[in-house]
Chains A and B, each alone.
Chain A
Amino acid sequence: MSDLLSLSVTAVKRALEKGAEEAEVYANASQVTEVFLQNNDIKLGRSQRFTQIGIRVFSGRGLGFGSVNSEERSQVESAIDAAISLARTAPRDKANKLPNPQKVRSVRGLYDKASESFTPEQALDRASTLLKEAKAVDPRITVDSGQFTSSIGERAIATSTGVEAEEKASAFLWFIMGMATEGGEVSSFQYEFDGTHKVREIEVEKTAQAFGKKVVRSLGAKKAQSFKGTAIFSPGTVQEMLAENIMYAVDANNVQRELSPFRGKKGKAVAAKTLTVLDDGTLPGGLGSSAFDREGLPHRAFPIIQRGVLKNYLYNTYAANKERRRSTGSAVGDARTVPSIGPSNFIIPPGKETLEDLLENVKRGILVERLSAFPEPVSGNFSGVVKGGSYIENGELKHPVKETLLAGNMYEMMRKVTAVSKEQQKIYNYYVPYVVLEGGSVTSG
């Protein structure tokens, strides 16, 4: 048993001794090294260790939560006291009950022993390479900001219902953001990011090149025409728009509160047959993978939408208790907050046709690299400015666009997905392809 887990087990006992009826202790500790980029240069190096202990208690079926950034006994005691005091003032809620333990299986590919000898100098080298390679794509590129992060962390959970679990993971994450300038023209902002658990899979060069190409492509933008037609969402747009709407609609809390348009739609079609969405927290090496969720329950692989049909909502224990069913292992959050609901790895399986094939079939449309929009997930309505997109006519990318708005309803457009691409991109824990949607309207300012 690690120190973190034994601390958690001890803290659960203390909470019960102090009068909590149920208690959960979630703890994490990590060593993090970061190198920041700003304005085409190295900005700052940062190296620190984080610890966080979060204690959730129920008293009289009321909820209380306390959290501290220290393993020190007196600090942990103060968090327990705060949690219990809060719980005693809280309204009674029958759904406040911790889950019973389930068998947890470890997931492969989350910890790389080589990460132990990964030095801050190597982190600097990776950050510098990210910057240099991006600039090398084209002299017109300006890197506004970027970051390379390496971390080794462990987490543990113990509860009064007998849940005990722990896990170690290494992670390397990086991102780059910027624009291109030519004469007086400044392109729209673009960004690119990636990550991995393994030292040998750190490929900042690939990210730098993808970013550089994307930025340069957005130069020379012209206004598009106004029309109603095809929109091809880039993987980044799929993540920010389509995936976010789907996640909101399948969150059991939103379903129960009558905020989700997917309420009452389980087993029914909510999207076109071309669209399948999976949640798989057991994917080896996945950035959203881990053996157990924020409540210590095992992660699973299950369909959310299968060939357009809604298969599952996502539950944590609180939402599941309200319907007297079991959690889907979808509790998410850190040691500073009570568990909420979210995906582990959100996956849209790739299609058979390449992006090039998909473009060929478009008579009139727009390729959306990024959409600067207000998503409104209750209704699905959105209206946003296309950033770094291109106008498509008769199967050809004609020119990048500016001052061009795309508006529509995400839930209606989901029903009009005509294809997904063979290319699939990993955006942290989202594994998503290009998606072709109909029903949006393009307005050019």
Chain B
Amino acid sequence: MQRALETIDVDYADARWQERKSLSIRITKGELESANFTRLTGTGIRVWKDGGWGFSSTNDPSSASLAEAAQNALRAAKIAALNKKEKTKTLKERRPAQGRFQAIGTDPLAKHSYEEKMAVVRETEAAIRKGAKGIVSSTAVWREIDDHKLIVSTDGARVELHYCKPDFYAVGVAKAGGQRVRAAEASGVTGGWKELFRKGSPEVLAERAARRATALAKAKHLTGGRATVILDPAVVGLISHEAVGHTVEADFVLAGSILKGKVGERVASDLVTLVDSGNPSEDAAAAGTIFADDEGTLSGRTVLIRKGILVGYLHDRETAGILGQPVTGNARAFEHTDEPIVRMTNTYILPGDWTYEEILHDTKEGYLVKGAGGGQADANGEFMFEVQEAYRVENGELGELYKSVTLSGQTFDLLKSVDAISREFAFDLGSGFCGKFQLARVDGGGGYLRCQAILGGRQGA
């Protein structure tokens, strides 16, 4: 790989060999929908020349093939440079990463057989069906991605990464009064068997999904409005990632995100410190852990909002150069056929000094919302997300459960209204993928957080 980079005349280049082994097993209502093993191997080469960028890849490890891919990337870079108006003038200097990093867990998944994984999915799916009365459909999913990468660059990065990122789902669908309600228990981590099931064994996840689906089926719809809302760590993670994180990705900042030019301004209350870390000291098993990014920069801890003030953005070498800020190690690529782009890793709000109980007891009137659902945040800072459960809070006590509740508002209004964050902290956004031209495994979290937001009910859902 290193030699292939030496055969071409470039201003900068990086090469990444990646072997990915993935497995997915999915069973719905007793039927096996997929039992897929995929292995992808190859090398992606990215070239910077005359201010333009080019990329190519090959699945063939021979030196001739690598040299050809390097030539193709160089040609693509030269072509891109021809019509590029704002040539990239400089890439920000960084200390290139060197070393080996591994996170496959204390009980690596490679040591567990297909039989065992298939059995877990079968048993979980059956357990959801039998878990509660009124379950009409159930799904269990096992998915694992095992990545092994070697990254080299012309400025001296040499890094080997090996990590496994499994996720697991137990989904129950219950019916009441002609309406179906879905409840999902999901876990997604970086690591092995023990990390994957640390929130609960497969049996426990199945039972929770079944119970929650039947409870939600009987729950009422909410009449919406502005309210005091306590968010659980999953919802805090969802907001940190979707509503805040995307607006601080430097490529979006350059294209005109709402936080462009706002460094130094207040965007949240004093209590809020929001960070992104690809190697978080709080919990290395978070699903977005990468140790080093795909252009060979070590992951640190990037403070984005410090005590309510916006202090920085997420960068690769190019955007850091343009905006004159430090490289943050957020250049990520999904497969060897993808070039690195600015992405988040684990994005979270640091814990506060309340306890969850104190926040609850201190809340006279409001709601507790739990569990991240679908949703979106717009370029202008407005967001709308679904949450899995919403409980009424009255005089510090949990009350009635509501279903199909949405949380919406203006992101930075919500963050400015934060008046309590708990000590209890968790990552809880680790299942599934974030999509931005390519997929990425990410995570998000925080403590329980109290704020003002708009809760909505959904029409007849």
Taking beta carbons and an 8 Å cutoff, which residues of A are in contact with B?
A: 33, 35, 38-51, 62-70, 75, 78-79, 82-83, 85-87, 89-91, 93, 120-121, 124-125, 127-128, 142, 144-145, 179, 181, 186, 188-189, 257-259, 336-338, 372, 374, 376, 378-379, 381, 383, 385, 407, 409
Contacts and interface: CB of A to CB of B under 8 A. Distances in A.
Given A91-B30, A379-B180, 6 more contacts: A41-B85, A65-B34, A86-B36, A89-B35, A257-B29, A372-B376
18 contacts: A39-B255, A42-B83, A45-B75, A45-B80, A47-B54, A47-B56, A48-B69, A50-B337, A51-B59, A68-B40, A91-B31, A91-B122, A127-B83, A186-B380, A257-B137, A259-B137, A372-B376, A381-B461
B32 A46 contact: no
Contacts of A45: 52-55, 75-77, 79-80
Contact of A69 (B37, B42, B72): B42
A374 B80 contact: no
A365 to B, nearest CB: 19
B76 A47 contact: yes
B347 interface: no
A82 B37 contact: yes
Contact of B459 (A43, A186, A381): A381
Given A93-B32, A120-B76, A374-B374, A86 B55 contact: no
Interface of B: 25, 27-42, 52-60, 69, 72-73, 75-77, 79-80, 82-86, 114-115, 118-119, 122, 136-137, 179-180, 251, 254-256, 337, 339, 374-376, 378-380, 384, 386, 437, 458-461
Contacts of A120: 75-76, 79
Contacts of B339: 44, 46
Contact of A46 (B36, B55, B136): B55
Nearest to A71: B59
Contacts of B459: 381, 383, 407
A51 B337 CA distance: 11
Contacts of B80: 35, 42-45, 124
Nearest to A33: B76
A52 B281 CA distance: 39
B53 A374 contact: no
B75 A66 contact: no
B34 A337 contact: yes
B76 A42 contact: no
Contacts of B255: 38-39, 142, 144-145
Contact of B379 (A48, A65, A121, A179): A179
A48 B57 contact: yes
A65 B35 contact: yes
A337 B36 contact: yes
Contact of B58 (A49, A91, A374, A379): A49
Given A49-B58, A68-B39, A258-B136, A43 B28 contact: no
A319 to B, nearest CB: 11
Contacts of B84: 41-42
B461 A69 contact: no
Contacts of B77: 45
Contacts of B86: 41
Contacts of A259: 137
Contacts of A181: 256
Given A124-B79, A379-B180, A48 B461 contact: no
B432 to A, nearest CB: 16
A273 to B, nearest CB: 26
Contact of A189 (B52, B83, B137, B379): B379
B34 A69 contact: no
A374 to B, nearest CB: 6
Nearest to A131: B83
Contacts of A63: 32, 34-35
B79 A83 contact: no
A284 B460 CA distance: 43
B191 to A, nearest CB: 23
Contact of B28 (A66, A127, A257, A374): A257
Nearest to B255: A39
B28 to A, nearest CB: 7
A48 B35 contact: no
Contact of A44 (B28, B53, B58, B376): B53
A83 B310 CA distance: 50
A86 B38 contact: no
A91 B59 contact: no
Given A44-B339, A257-B29, A383-B459, A121 B85 contact: no
Nearest to B182: A378
B35 A64 contact: yes
Nearest to B54: A45
Given A47-B75, A67-B39, A93-B31, A85 B256 contact: no
Contacts of B31: 91, 93
